[in-house]
């Protein structure tokens, strides 16, 4: 209750301090801008939702967004935590004479405000896409020269989340530009999640916390195993930077898009969860197979990702022959442990309690994909045969949660 009152007071303070009407003039730098109000923590846990890009590319329209909103409710995605419905590139076509950004009138005839209202009416949050530079990656109008005007427009439409890309920005300073964009969002008076998308080019893990709530660490994901393996390696290097309010973003999910096996998709999803990554589904939610649903809707795996302690898991054992063991500490004192197999054959792997921060003695194990208890295992720290061992399929994962004690 206290929290709710505080949130209302904060929102009111932000709104009265800087209503959208005052924002049409574009400040040249943060120094010249009016002091930005303190924003509430927008992403205490990694954001979850859906984004159009991986499956639909530029083929976006309001029918797709409305149907996806319905699907998010009907399939249980919203109940599982996927709240943001984000339209990526290509919704925008031009600017009006006064500088106002214009949505494609053929694809979005009802306009963005009505679409956001519909998304909100389904209990979801609404997201959109822009670019720091003059043009987006697909050549649509970007935000350059219009940060405040756009932020005010988006606030007026009811935008809750914006992904901001870095195409056509080569000569610009990323920390400065994204901070200016953040300040424009704050002046709009609406809390809006800022998803920084400069692909790890400018070491965002060093400066993006406090600027955006998530920041890409790599180039774009592809719907294939090699891409997932490469991204896992790259994103794992920045675990120190992640925590409540700011997350490394290894890019959106490919689960359900058809380019990987069931085991590979489970590994992809498990590692995103272990790395406390934002979980933005990137498949057609209107036509999911039972296999795809069993991955995206596994609440025990999602709980690992969304754990309030907010620690990005790390590799604790690197086996030269193509196996890894990862550990993510969780708020209740348990540990999520992932055994990964990068080889073409089944691989037996084991772990000792001392390697995952569990004290010697008994510990209770649950397999999060089998959704089955695996009993109490004991590791005295002395006997090799009392370690916990699993058999991991090729390109697959075994993901368990281990609680110290009986």
Catalytic residue ranges: 165, 220
Q: What are 254's two structure tokens? A: 């490919």
197 or 288: whose CB is closer to ligand GLA? 197
197 or 277: whose CB is closer to ligand GLA? 197
Q: Are 43 and 247 in contact (CB under 8 A)?
A: yes
Q: How far is the CB of 53 from ligand GLA (least distance, A)?
A: 5
Alpha-carbon distance of 52 to 68, in angstroms, equals: 10
Q: How far is the CB of 402 from ligand GLA (least distance, A)?
A: 35
Stretch that binds ligand GLA, among 117-125, 131-139, 206-214, 337-345 (CB under 6 A): 131-139
Does 138 interact with ligand GLA (rule: CB under 6 A)? yes
Alpha-carbon distance of 69 to 74, in angstroms, equals: 9
DSSP assignment of 76-124, as one string?
SHHHHT--EEE--TTSEEEE-TTS-EEE-TTT-TTHHHHHHHHHHHTT-
Does 273 interact with ligand GLA (rule: CB under 6 A)? no
Q: How far is the CB of 189 from ligand GLA (least distance, A)?
A: 26
39 or 137: whose CB is closer to ligand GLA? 137
Cβ-count burial 1-32 (b if 16+ within 10 Å, e if not): eeeeeeeeeeeeebeeebebeebeebbeeeee
Does 61 interact with ligand GLA (rule: CB under 6 A)? no
Measured CA distances, 294 to 54, 170, 369, 378 (Å): 20, 42, 9, 31
136 or 334: whose CB is closer to ligand GLA? 136
Long-range Cβ contact pairs of 15-21 (< 8 A, separation 24 or more): 15/189, 17/189, 18/186, 18/187, 18/188, 18/189, 19/189, 20/152, 20/155, 20/156, 20/188, 20/189, 21/152
Q: How far is the CB of 43 from ligand GLA (least distance, A)?
A: 18
Q: What are 268's two structure tokens? A: 């992809």
Does 93 interact with ligand GLA (rule: CB under 6 A)? no
Site mask, ligand GLA, residues 176-205, x = CB under 6 A? Answer: ---------------------x-x------
Alpha-carbon distance of 313 to 142, in angstroms, equals: 35
Number of shown-chain residues binding ligand GLA (CB under 6 A):
10
Alpha-carbon distance of 352 to 45, in angstroms, equals: 29
62 or 165: whose CB is closer to ligand GLA? 165
Measured CA distances, 389 to 60, 144, 343, 380 (Å): 47, 54, 18, 15
CB neighbours of 183 closer than 8 A, spacing ≥ 6? 30, 33, 36
Neighbour tally for 289: CB within 10 Å: 12
Stretch that binds ligand GLA, among 133-141, 150-158, 236-244, 349-357 (CB under 6 A): 133-141
Using the rule CB under 6 A, which residue among 148, 150, 165, 379 binds ligand GLA? Answer: 165
Angle of the 147-157 helix axis to the 111-121 helix axis, nearest 10? 50
203 or 220: whose CB is closer to ligand GLA? 220
Does 88 interact with ligand GLA (rule: CB under 6 A)? yes
149 or 199: whose CB is closer to ligand GLA? 199
Q: How far is the CB of 328 from ligand GLA (least distance, A)?
A: 25
Q: How far is the CB of 268 from ligand GLA (least distance, A)?
A: 16
Using the rule CB under 6 A, which residue among 89, 183, 254, 307 binds ligand GLA? Answer: 89
Stretch that binds ligand GLA, among 130-138, 237-245, 277-285, 349-357 (CB under 6 A): 130-138
Q: How far is the CB of 278 from ligand GLA (least distance, A)?
A: 12
Using the rule CB under 6 A, which residue among 117, 220, 263, 367 binds ligand GLA? Answer: 220
Q: How far is the CB of 165 from ligand GLA (least distance, A)?
A: 5
Does 132 interact with ligand GLA (rule: CB under 6 A)? no
Q: Which residues bind ligand GLA (CB under 6 A)?
A: 53, 88-89, 136-138, 165, 197, 199, 220
């Amino acid at each position: 209750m206290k929290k709710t009152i505080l949130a209302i007071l904060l929102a009111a303070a932000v709104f009265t301090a800087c209503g959208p009407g005052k924002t049409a003039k574009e400040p040249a730098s943060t120094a010249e801008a009016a002091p930005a109000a303190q924003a509430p923590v927008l992403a205490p846990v990694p954001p979850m939702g859906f984004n159009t890009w991986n499956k639909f590319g530029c083929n976006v329209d309001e029918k797709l967004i409305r149907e996806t909103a319905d699907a998010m409710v009907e399939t249980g995605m919203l109940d599982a935590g996927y709240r943001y419905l984000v339209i990526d590139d290509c919704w925008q076509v031009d600017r009006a004479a006064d500088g106002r950004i214009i949505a494609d009138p053929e694809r979005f005839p009802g306009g963005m405000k009505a679409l956001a209202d519909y998304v909100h009416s389904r209990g979801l949050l609404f997201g959109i896409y822009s670019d720091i530079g003059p043009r987006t990656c697909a050549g649509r109008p970007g935000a350059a020269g219009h940060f405040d005007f756009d932020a005010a427009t988006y606030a007026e439409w009811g935008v809750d989340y914006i992904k901001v890309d870095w195409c056509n920005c080569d000569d610009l300073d990323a920390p400065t530009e994204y901070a200016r964009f953040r300040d424009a969002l704050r002046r709009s008076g609406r809390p809006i999640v800022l998803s920084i998308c400069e692909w790890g080019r400018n070491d965002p893990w060093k400066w993006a916390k406090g600027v955006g709530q998530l920041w890409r660490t790599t180039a774009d994901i592809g719907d294939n195993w090699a891409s997932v393996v490469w991204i896992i390696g790259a994103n794992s290097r920045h675990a120190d930077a992640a925590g409540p309010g700011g997350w490394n973003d290894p890019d959106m999910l490919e689960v359900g898009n058809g380019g990987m096996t069931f085991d590979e998709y489970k590994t992809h999803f498990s590692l995103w969860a272990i790395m406390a990554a934002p979980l933005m589904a990137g498949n057609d939610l209107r036509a999911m197979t039972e296999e795809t649903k069993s991955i995206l809707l596994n609440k025990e795996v999602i709980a690992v990702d969304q754990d309030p302690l907010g620690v990005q898991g790390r590799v604790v054992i690197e086996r030269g022959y193509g196996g890894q063991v990862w550990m993510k500490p969780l708020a209740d004192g348990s540990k999520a442990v992932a055994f990964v197999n990068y080889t073409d054959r089944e691989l037996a792997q084991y772990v000792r309690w001392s390697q995952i921060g569990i004290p010697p003695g008994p510990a209770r194990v649950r397999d999060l994909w089998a959704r089955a208890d695996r009993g109490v295992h004991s590791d005295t720290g002395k006997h090799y045969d009392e370690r916990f061992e699993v058999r991991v399929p090729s390109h697959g994962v075994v993901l368990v949660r281990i609680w110290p004690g009986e």
